[in-house]
Structure 1
């Protein structure tokens, strides 16, 4: 792989998650035994698998970054919205600088609608020790 531009900007969690997947990271225990990834890389992958990054696509991120331009958000604010996928003003306020001055209820409602329609939903939280493939019969 050739680096085209050093420090081109911040990466979204999806880009890190996708990169680690391409390097062989997986949640499958059998594949994890054969990986050449460092334990720290697997730890990052495990964390990101529980965040919105695991359900996002490159296309949804590109579409969101194009549509969100109407809000005049800083690049860091957009990256944080993509990474965190806030679901209410309480989660969005720390992400967007001067939130109360820049986002009234209607404006945030528009942003929230865009987040909900363009970005995939958050993954379901995984409970440790609970197998999602078992049925309760």
Structure 2
């Protein structure tokens, strides 16, 4: 069953916004955005399909939320983790307020707990699609023309 969005019902994940826009008919095709979808909604859609939200599912988000219960994260922290899909300690650290202190009794275990949370994110939440510039890095450079030698 589809959840109906209500005004001021709370913060939405990027996945929920993307699904809402898809339901309204948003596409990456500029000509496809000439109906019920506004140009600004198309821009949001274009941005969201380049983020991890485009590969997420309701099931992956629910699985993350269930498995993350033991970390006792605030709602905003959960939302930011789902939206940003932090892939290492440096990225997740600013998301979790006092993470190392809050997640364990001593700081050394706190780092392990934060690392465990990063592992959960990597395991459960799908990665974003590759960006065009990332794909270009994997390709070999095209040979360049050699300069003409002078006589």
TM-score band by shorter chain is 0.7 to 0.9
What do you get for the CA RMSD once the two structures are aligned?
A: 2.3
Gaps of 5+ in 2: 104-109, 137-141, 143-151
Q: Normalised by the size of structure 1, how large is the TM-score?
A: 0.82
- Where do 4+ consecutive residues of structure 1 move more than 2 Å? 3-8, 28-32, 102-105
Q: Which residue of 1 aligns with 2:86?
A: 86
> How far off its partner does 1:10 sit?
0.8
Q: Is the 8 A contact 1:17 1:45 kept in 2?
A: yes
> How far off its partner does 1:7 sit?
2.3
Gaps of 5+ in 1: 131-135
Q: Which residue of 2 aligns with 1:133?
A: none
Q: d(CA) in 1 for partners of 2:79 and 2:93? A: 14
- Structure with greater Cα Rg: 2
| Higher relative contact order (CA closer than 8 Å, sequence separation 6+) | 1
1:21 matches 2:22: yes
SS in 2 for 1:100: helix
Equivalent pairs counted in the alignment come to 127
